[in-house]
Amino acid sequence: MTDQERLRNQQEQFTTDGLTPEEDRELVKLLSKWKGGKISTPVFTELARIIPQSIVEVVLFRENDGFLETLLIPRPKNDIVWPGMMHTPGTARRASDYRRADKEPLNGAFERIQHGELHGKFADTPIFAGRLDRDGDRGPENVEVYVADMKENFELLEGQEWYRVDKLSENSKFIQGQLGHVFLAVDFLKNGLPD
């Protein structure tokens, strides 16, 4: 039996919920064309709704007038799920992260966050603060949370802002599903490095 025949037999026994057998086969055919590069935002959003995503979040803090603040950055105005909303810097891991020459998948995520979101460099390698699972507006996520500082010459871009952590839950422009990882990072910051 060929691979195609085996696949057809499997699909006849089990079809994706909501699809006809023909649509299921067409979806498999289309997805099999992916060559390992970028995935469009609409396709990623649909996949994220279905398959749990591995997310890297980097929380940046500063003290200001006795209050702890975190850096928030805006989502694009044309974002499918959170248009123009504020969030902490973060990115989904990508297949290309695992195919890097340095064999360090996390470096790909950190590079995208620095170059694509912050437009600045971390002072040092972000420190792992913890992990959590959440089922958010875009779909289920496994989130790795890191804490970092920016280099001294870092300047905010238009739309970026430092925001009081104790007021985040009242901020209607902040993606409230991110409160969990921000508070995880706060706990890490208060309790220090594990022994």
Give residue 146's pLDDT.
98
Share of the chain above pLDDT 90, in %: 67
How far out from the chain centre does Cα 110 lie?
A: 11
Q: pTM value?
A: 0.85
Query: 52-191 — its CATH code?
Result: 3.90.79.10
β-partners of residue 154 are none
Q: Are 25 and 11 spatial neighbours (Cβ–Cβ below 8 Å)?
A: yes
Q: Specify the pLDDT at position 195.
A: 46
Portions of the chain given CATH number 3.90.79.10:
52-191
Exposed / middle / buried, residue 56 (Cβ in 10 Å: 0-12, 13-18, 19+) = buried
- The three-state secondary structure class of 177 is helix
